[in-house]
Amino acid sequence: MLLHIGIDDTDSAKHGMCTTYVGAVLSRKLAKVGEVEEAKLVRLNPNIKYKTRGNAAVALALRTKKVAEAKRITRRVVEELACFDDNNTNPGVVFYEGEPPEDFSRFYRRALHEVVGIDQAESLLRERGAEYVKYKLGRGIVGALAAIGAELSRATYEYIAYRARERWGTPRNLDTASVLAMDALTFPLTFNNYDYAERRVLIAPHTPCPVLFGIRGTSAQVVQEAAELVLPGEDIALSMVYKTNQGTDAHLQEVSRIAEVRPFSSVILAGEVASAPRVIQGGHVFFELCDEHGEQITCAAYEPTKGFRNVVRALIPGDRVRVYGGVDESRTINLEKLEVLRLKRERLANPRCTRCGRRMESAGKGRGYRCKRCRTVAKEKVVEELERNIQEKLYSVPPIAMRHLAKPLVLCI
């Protein structure tokens, strides 16, 4: 019998824990009653406001003849490890025996792109005869069901090393030189290991969770081999390799017009820059995008996107671009990528005086242009070439600001 086990919402932004750690501990314990054939780490809609951190759920596919015992082990592990003291932590567990139906996959896709309710998950689970366990509000059954349904036709892998319990909450001491050496040897088969502009190691979190470090890459073998090159500064108590939708842009959906953009979705949208970018206090940059129907929407590059904002600031009205990003409650698109499709390279301008080189002024409606100083005249505006300091290509926020689901540029080629 193939038993699918989905788990979500066991962690806490305040107290730590990590749903992937629950999955890793459970995987080891389930080895006593069967064989774990697949372990999935599934990121869901990154715009959900009540997510704990990265909005991740896990699913294990267990080949076993001891289904009842496997379920008992699962409940015991969740009850021992979940952060029940946090009001925002509402764990859920889903069990499904046999091949998951297609509507589980549809539910996964909805959970990637929409806000899905607990009642919707429960309704589908009851309809399909799945067993589930709700703790507290039980919101975790949404992610648990979606993780089981995730088909991961586009997939990457993550090796995660976990700390001994007595080390949780203490500073991590990874050897930076070993991380740099690992990145030099394995990139682009591994990615987002280090941000060279910010000089910051990215494989280690800064929370009190059990994770020591995690390496993402294109295959299970490459992330395992890369992990062996890292000097962790402490013993690794447990490790796990997950198949995942991270780094795939699975959350993004292409829309043809601004009217289709919904709050809390993630979109790909092409249009024309309709306003000069403006910078507000804090260094955040905004501009308006217009589609072919004349509708407009605000796009934003916030301060954490660092140098990416220079690209946004270099845009001018008339540039044609394609934007990628999450949509907040006010329908502002928070940029993750920006593809410059066509740069405006010319503009009409008042002619320059042939004697002094100054820009001429209008002599009045229909009367051409004149230089007040030299009294030279010209009949009409001239076409001037614009000097642009950006190119027609795809740009991305830096690794330090990249969401888990966002595809790095190296994988976009």
- 14 lies in the same domain as 137: yes
Cβ–Cβ under 8 Å, residues 172 and 212: yes
DSSP assignment of 48-90: -TT-SSS-EEEEEEEEES-HHHHHHHHHHHHHHHS-TTSTT--
- 261 lies in the same domain as 374: no
Query: Which of 168, 166, 214 has its CA nearest to residue 191?
Result: 214
33-to-29, 63, 69, 98 alpha-carbon distances in Å: 8, 9, 7, 17
Interacting residues of 170 by C-beta distance below 8 A, sequence separation 6+: none
The residues facing 302 across adjacent strands are: none
Coil, strand or helix at 299: strand
Per the domain annotation, does 221 fall within a domain?
Answer: yes
Residue where one domain finishes, among candidates 149, 178, 193: 149
Q: Where residue 279 sits, what CATH number does that domain have? A: 2.40.50.1010
- 127 lies in the same domain as 16: yes
Q: Is the peptide bond before 188 cis (omega within 30 degrees of 0)?
A: yes
- 319 lies in the same domain as 374: no
pLDDT score, position 51: 73
Q: Where residue 193 sits, what CATH number does that domain have? A: 3.90.600.20
Q: Where residue 44 sits, what CATH number does that domain have? A: 3.30.70.2200
Residue where one domain finishes, among candidates 215, 244, 273: 244
Binned average pLDDT, 10 residues per bin, the chain of 413 residues: 96 85 98 97 91 86 97 98 91 97 98 96 97 96 98 95 95 96 98 96 93 98 98 96 98 97 97 97 97 97 96 97 97 98 92 90 88 89 92 97 96 82
CA 12 to chain centre: 19
- 134 lies in the same domain as 263: no
Per the domain annotation, does 89 fall within a domain?
Answer: yes
Per the domain annotation, does 337 fall within a domain?
Answer: yes
CA gap 57, 44 in Å, rounded: 8
Relative to beta strand 369-370, strand 2-8 is unpaired
Per the domain annotation, does 210 fall within a domain?
Answer: yes
Question: C-alpha angle 343/259/247, rounded to 5°?
Answer: 65
- 257 lies in the same domain as 401: yes
Per the domain annotation, does 189 fall within a domain?
Answer: yes
pLDDT score, position 48: 87
Per the domain annotation, does 413 fall within a domain?
Answer: no
Relative to beta strand 211-217, strand 266-273 is unpaired
Per the domain annotation, does 332 fall within a domain?
Answer: yes
Residue 12 CB coordination number (10 Å): 22
- 278 lies in the same domain as 193: no
Per the domain annotation, does 412 fall within a domain?
Answer: no
pLDDT score, position 305: 96
- 140 lies in the same domain as 285: no
With b for 16 or more beta-carbon neighbours within 10 A and e for fewer, the 53-84 pattern comes to ebbbbbbbbbebebbeebbebbeebbeebbbb
Interacting residues of 227 by C-beta distance below 8 A, sequence separation 6+: 159, 161, 213, 215, 239
- 98 lies in the same domain as 37: yes
374, with CB counted inside 10 A (0-12, 13-18, 19+), is middle
- 91 lies in the same domain as 230: no
Biggest distance spanned by C-alpha atoms of the chain: 97
- 36 lies in the same domain as 169: no
CA gap 278, 48 in Å, rounded: 27
Q: Per the structure block, which two tokens stand in for 146?
A: 């979606």
Residue where one domain finishes, among candidates 244, 272, 291: 244
pLDDT score, position 15: 76
Q: What residue numbers bound the domain in which 226 lies?
A: 157-244
- 183 lies in the same domain as 208: yes
pLDDT score, position 53: 67
210, with CB counted inside 10 A (0-12, 13-18, 19+), is buried
Q: How many residues does the chain have?
A: 413
Q: What is the pLDDT of residues 358-404, one digit of tens each?
A: 999 988 888 899 998 898 889 889 899 999 999 999 999 999 999 99
The structural domain count of the chain equals 4
